[in-house]
Amino acid sequence: MTVAIDFSQRDKLKLDDFLLKSSAGWLAGNQKRAFDFFCTLPLPHRKNEHWKYNQVDFLNSGDFILCHQAGQAEHKSQSINFENSIKLDFVNGILVNQFNDDEPALQLTRIDKLNSEQQALLQQQLAQQDKNIFAHLNQLIANNAYLLEVKANTIIDKPVYIRHISDPGLENSEANQLAVNALYVSVSANSQLTLIEQFNSNTNDSENTLLNLQQSFIQLAQNAHCKHYRLNLEDANSHQVSEVNINQMKDSHYKSFYLGLGSKLNRTDINLAYQQEHASADLSGVYLPSGNETIDYHTNIQHKNGHCQTNEIFRGIIADQAKATFNGKIHIFPQAQKSDAYLNNKNLLLTNQAEINTKPELEIYADDVSCAHGATVAQLDKKSLYYLQSRGIGLKKAKTMLSLGFINELITRIDNEVIREFLLSLVDKRMSHID
């Protein structure tokens, strides 16, 4: 596909430019629906509450050319050193390594090869999308999306480690680049999966814009369990707008950890819905923007049924002139009696120029629930800094120690030792470069 996209002239686009000859009928129908939404929905702007803290002027910087596969991108991104894992590398949304299929209970299928049952599963998830123009653009273009399925009554012992790499390569390096990918995950009844998604980009120090659009869909059947680690490690010059959609059935459990190191814009929307009762979710995350980076997490937890439990904790350290936004919403529907929900967001500003916009929300329409929320913004304690300095520790080292103590509580809770040590090392290195 060589079509160029100008966000300010969407009325000139043609659907036929996006459709692939190999697209199945249902896929072509979904692309048409996404095309209609993309061409008619308004672009994000600062007067829109959902985007008011994001700088989106880059959308008016001219044509965006779709990234093609870049063969040299694989070795440029750091990796978690697993002794035994199921590893998948996607470069610009294209699978570039062989799927290790020695696990018979795990199946990977490209979107245009799905059977009728798989198509119905995806259609159900896609129908729940909100009015996110980037989500519809992703659905329009991401023809290389994959469905990862775990069969019923199975525990996948090895973690599934997926690296999403965005690399424009040398071709069209003078143009704005658009990278897209989508991943669908289905964990069947009474099964367990550990999923790691890592995001890297290579902007080649270009002055042009690299925009990454990504979606992950996770469907948890009855009594299914998923541990999900999502690590945003993109270059400081890239832009990423992504969406995570989780649907949970009865007695299912979703446990996640999100890490954002920052870029020009790193925006992640997390939408979780309890479709049946007695489900639970534990969400935690850490974000560490510095320089002139911007990070934004929007979470929307929907208690559509009763007896469900949510525990959500995010913490951020904002340095230099960086900006961060956390908007956490928990929506308790009228029929969701006996819901239990907790939301907490804490932030640490390392400079007077750093900025945080935090907004925890509870929207409750049931009367027999237990809910709480809170948010704090603080600076490093001067007495603690003085105490450490009086013990011979330099000012920069003292700041790093106190900052790490602020977030390490969440990281040390991770029960996978390999992931935990990788994150501790990554965060320590990140904080050591911050004045």
For 210-225, what is each residue's pLDDT tens digit?
A: 899 999 999 999 999 9
Report, as an integer, the average pLDDT of 368-377: 94
Domain boundary residue, one of 229, 257, 276: 276
Give a yes or no: residue 348 inside a domain: no
Whether 167 and 35 map to the same domain: the answer is yes
Under 8 Å between Cβ of 64 and 178: yes
At residue 75, the pLDDT reads 46
Whether 131 and 262 map to the same domain: the answer is yes
Buried b (16+ CB within 10 A) or exposed e, 221-253: bbbbbbbbbbbbbbbebbbbbbbbbbbbbbbbb
Report, as an integer, the average pLDDT of 278-302: 96
Give a yes or no: residue 166 inside a domain: yes
Which stretches of 67-133 are assigned E, i.e. beta strand?
86-91, 94-95, 106-110
At residue 206, the pLDDT reads 66
Domain hosting 80: range is 4-276
What domain count does the chain have? 2
Give a yes or no: residue 134 inside a domain: yes
Give a yes or no: residue 330 inside a domain: no
Give a yes or no: residue 191 inside a domain: yes
Collapsed DSSP state (helix, strand, coil) of residue 218: strand
Residue 47 to residue 131: CA distance in whole angstroms: 16
Q: How many residues does the chain have?
A: 435
Domain boundary residue, one of 242, 276, 310: 276
Under 8 Å between Cβ of 154 and 105: yes
Cα→Cα distances 140→20, 23, 41, 119, Å: 11, 12, 14, 16
Under 8 Å between Cβ of 309 and 280: yes
Q: What percentage of the chain reaches a pLDDT higher than 90?
A: 52
Whether 391 and 250 map to the same domain: the answer is no
Whether 250 and 102 map to the same domain: the answer is yes
Domain boundary residue, one of 276, 296, 319: 276
313 vs 97: which has the higher pLDDT:
313
For residue 249, give the DSSP letter.
-
Give a yes or no: residue 323 inside a domain: no
Residue 269 to residue 243: CA distance in whole angstroms: 5
For residue 339, give the DSSP letter.
-
Please count the other Cβ atoms lying within 10 Å of the Cβ belonging to residue 153: 11
Task: Using alpha carbons only, give the angle 192, 100, 179 rounded to the nearest 5 degrees.
Answer: 90
List strands edge to edge, sheet with 370-379: 94-95, 86-91, 160-166, 192-201, 225-232, 253-260, 280-287, 309-318, 340-349, 370-379
Most confident of 2-16, 17-31, 313-327, 400-414: 313-327
Collapsed DSSP state (helix, strand, coil) of residue 268: strand
Strand-strand pairing, 323-332 and 176-187: unpaired
Whether 20 and 169 map to the same domain: the answer is yes
Question: What does the block give as tokens for 30?
Answer: 């979904």
pLDDT tops 90 at residue 174: no
At residue 183, the pLDDT reads 94
Residue 292 to residue 262: CA distance in whole angstroms: 9
pLDDT tops 70 at residue 435: no
* Spatial CA neighbour of 172 closest among 313, 64, 280: 64
Report, as an integer, the average pLDDT of 286-298: 95
Q: Residue type for 435, please? A: D
Report, as an integer, the average pLDDT of 301-324: 96
Q: What percentage of the chain reaches a pLDDT higher than 70?
A: 92
pLDDT tops 80 at residue 171: no
At residue 380, the pLDDT reads 86
